[in-house]
Amino acid sequence: MTEIDKLAFALNQFAGLSEEDFKLSSDLWLHKNYKKGEFYNLRGNVCTYLGFVVDGVFRSYTINEKAGEEKNVFLYSANGFVVPFKSFVNQIACDYHTQAMTDASIIFIRHADLVSLYSKSHQWEKFGRLLAQEAFNVTMTRIEGFLLKSPEERYLDLIKDHPDIFNNVPLYHISSYLGIQGPSLSRIRKRILGK
């Protein structure tokens, strides 16, 4: 399956985009490779494109300037979208950095091109609505995870959402994302593997 076929399949699964609707966009998608450590978007910049991750892992993170500590906020992996949602949807400056954690490749579309598709097709308009809903859901799931779930439950959710994460990302990044210290992550992993 080619990269563009993977994208068409993912958009069909996500928003029910037909082959005909997808063809409206086929010339608008561009390919980009990232080396580990390269930035998808920097804090303070407006995110002007939506990426579909072909392979690799990205993170969005903030930096506590006083402590000099990074906190991972969101993770993005293959067959999902990489985008600082609030910045992209509202076209405002982003509150955090988004960076490739591994060598990665994406297929992306510019915000202006996506908005123009909304007026050409009800299915693309539906995609835009679902994208905004997804942004809300991802954010609320992260907040509720910290309020309502144990670190072990958050760990299990991470494995479900990003099954290959442990093969690609250092444990300290995973600890940061889960909001726990490294030794706690080790204990959780031992407990789960022992079951």
The strand pairing partners of 108, in sequence order, are 30, 51
pLDDT digits (tens, 9 = 90+) for 167-194: 889 999 999 999 998 888 889 988 887 7
| Residue 194 Cα distances to 57, 167, 189, angstroms | 27, 19, 8
pLDDT digits (tens, 9 = 90+) for 32-78: 999 999 999 999 999 999 999 999 999 999 998 888 889 999 999 99
- Rounded CA separation 109/50 (Å): 5
- The model carries a pTM of 0.92
| Residue 2 Cα distances to 5, 9, 31, angstroms | 5, 11, 12
Mean pLDDT of 137-155: 93
Burial classification of residue 57, based on how many CB atoms lie within 10 Å of its CB (0-12 exposed, 13-18 middle, 19 or more buried)? buried
